[in-house]
């Protein structure tokens, strides 16, 4: 059973990832750490609490984290109009954030995990500011982390947030580079792979019909903030990027990938561009497994099945 912290900036696909983790017995969800990203921190924090509140899982603490990037000026997601989830999309609840700061929670939990020889896994599905700060503040934190599964990067699927960069890296490239160089084992879920699994209106209807309150909320969010792009994908449907990190922990055999040296461009026009050296052309150790393929139907079926589990609650 994976002991997991999800570091997140909800976010519509973040909501799907969180709900999938909450419904997966393979995952012991230790808490959520929240970062600014798709929308400002006050909104990502409120949205995370709403999502957890929907499930009644008040045993999972939600920790507010860092409000902006380390160096660059702040940018929000393309879907910044998401703001705080409207009440008619995701019902309000009384569930409120834990008092402890996200970076502190990450440090404390990872250190305790190292001491107990039970390292944790982090699903990193927003800009990596909280995680970078935890690793910088106390480098021994790395010893308590078995793996960071990070939705980040675009190696050939360019032209997403900028012509070169994927959003989570673009929004805080310095934090991403700190994490990439931290020595913690990394699994990267880039756009190149997430773009291969497209969810359509039929799939969203199954969230709604089978997934209880949480499933209805996801239906509302995905149909309001439509991610389909026939121009780009050549067929109907849109990706649910962040849920791939949770699916990877539950069913790794759905994914194929290879080792690479991964890093980030920190300045200029191409800031946030991620490179992957698959053929060891650079004089640097390989630091990541990059997932390049996904079993589309397998991933879609798994996510629908997990969301449907909320229908029983
Ligand atoms: C990433 O950016 C955000 O908009 C999504 O939530 C996802 O984490 C995709 O580039
Ligand atoms: Ca996200």
Q: How far apart are the first and last CA of the chain?
A: 22
d(CA 179, CA 188): 11
Neighbouring CB atoms inside 10 A of 34's CB total 31
**CB-CB contact of 185 with 124 (8 Å):** no
Ligand located closest to 150 CA? 1
Residue 160, pLDDT score = 86
Identify the CA nearest to 12 among candidates 62, 78, 65: 78
pLDDT in tens, 86-120: 888 998 888 999 999 999 999 999 999 999 999 99
CA of 58 to the centre of ligand 1 (A): 25
Would you place residue 312 in the very low, low, confident or very high pLDDT band (cuts 50, 70, 90)? Answer: low
- The widest CA-to-CA distance across the chain, in whole angstroms, is 53
State the pairing for strand pair 145-150/120-124: parallel
What's the average model confidence in pLDDT over 255-267?
98
Mutate to test the pocket of ligand 1, among 125, 155, 244 (most ligand atoms within 8 A of CB): 125
Burial 269-298 (b: 16+ CB within 10 A, else e): eebbbbebbeeeeeeeebbbbbbbebbeee
Look at the block and give the residue holding tokens 């959520």.
32
**Bridge partners of residue 31, in order along the sequence:** 5
Is the ipTM, as predicted for this complex, more than 0.90?
yes
d(CA 192, CA 158): 8
CA of 283 to the centre of ligand 2 (A): 32
pLDDT in tens, 6-43: 999 999 999 999 999 999 999 999 999 999 999 999 99
Assigned token pair, 94: 């009384």
CA of 7 to the centre of ligand 2 (A): 9
Is 203 annotated as catalytic?
no
CA of 117 to the centre of ligand 1 (A): 32
CA 64-262-157 angle, to 5 degrees, is 85
**CB-CB contact of 237 with 222 (8 Å):** no
Closest Cα to atom 2 of ligand 1: 167
Q: What is the pTM of this model?
A: 0.98
pLDDT in tens, 120-152: 999 999 999 999 999 999 999 999 999 999 999
d(CA 198, CA 307): 17
Nearest atom in ligand 1 to 13's CA? 6
- Which residues surround ligand 1 with Cβ inside 6 Å? 11, 13-14, 38, 77, 125-126, 151, 160, 166-168, 241-242
pLDDT in tens, 59-89: 999 999 999 999 999 999 986 678 899 888 9
Would you place residue 159 in the very low, low, confident or very high pLDDT band (cuts 50, 70, 90)? Answer: confident
245 three-state secondary structure: helix
Mutate to test the pocket of ligand 1, among 13, 36, 47, 75 (most ligand atoms within 8 A of CB): 13
């Amino acid at each position: 059973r994976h002991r997991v912290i999800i570091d997140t900036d909800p976010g519509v696909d973040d909501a799907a990832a969180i709900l999938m983790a909450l419904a997966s017995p393979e995952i012991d969800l230790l808490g959520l750490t929240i970062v600014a990203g798709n929308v400002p921190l006050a909104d990502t924090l409120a949205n995370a609490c709403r999502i957890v509140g929907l499930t009644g899982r008040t045993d999972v603490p939600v920790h507010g984290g860092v409000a902006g990037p380390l160096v660059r000026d702040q940018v929000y997601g393309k879907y910044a109009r998401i703001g705080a989830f409207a009440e008619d999309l995701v019902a309000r609840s009384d569930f409120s954030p834990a008092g402890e700061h996200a970076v502190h929670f990450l440090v404390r939990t990872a250190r305790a995990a190292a001491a107990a020889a039970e390292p944790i896994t982090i699903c990193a599905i927003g800009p990596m500011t909280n995680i970078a700060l935890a690793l910088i503040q106390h480098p021994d934190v790395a010893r308590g982390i078995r793996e960071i599964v990070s939705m980040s990067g675009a190696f050939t699927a360019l032209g997403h947030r900028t012509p070169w960069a994927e959003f989570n890296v673009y929004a805080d490239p310095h934090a991403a580079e700190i994490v990439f160089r931290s020595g913690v084992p990394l699994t990267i879920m880039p756009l190149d792979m997430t773009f291969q699994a497209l969810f359509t209106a039929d799939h969203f209807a199954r969230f709604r019909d089978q997934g209880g309150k949480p499933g209805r909320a996801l239906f509302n969010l995905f149909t309001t903030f439509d991610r389909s792009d026939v121009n780009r994908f050549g067929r109907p449907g849109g990706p649910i990027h962040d849920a791939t990190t949770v699916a990877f922990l539950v069913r790794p055999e759905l994914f194929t990938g290879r080792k690479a040296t991964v890093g980030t461009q920190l300045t200029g026009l191409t800031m946030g561009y991620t490179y992957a050296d698959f053929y060891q052309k650079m004089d640097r150790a390989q630091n990541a497994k990059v997932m390049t393929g996904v079993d589309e139907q397998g991933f879609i079926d798994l996510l629908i099945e997990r969301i449907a589990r909320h229908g029983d609650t």
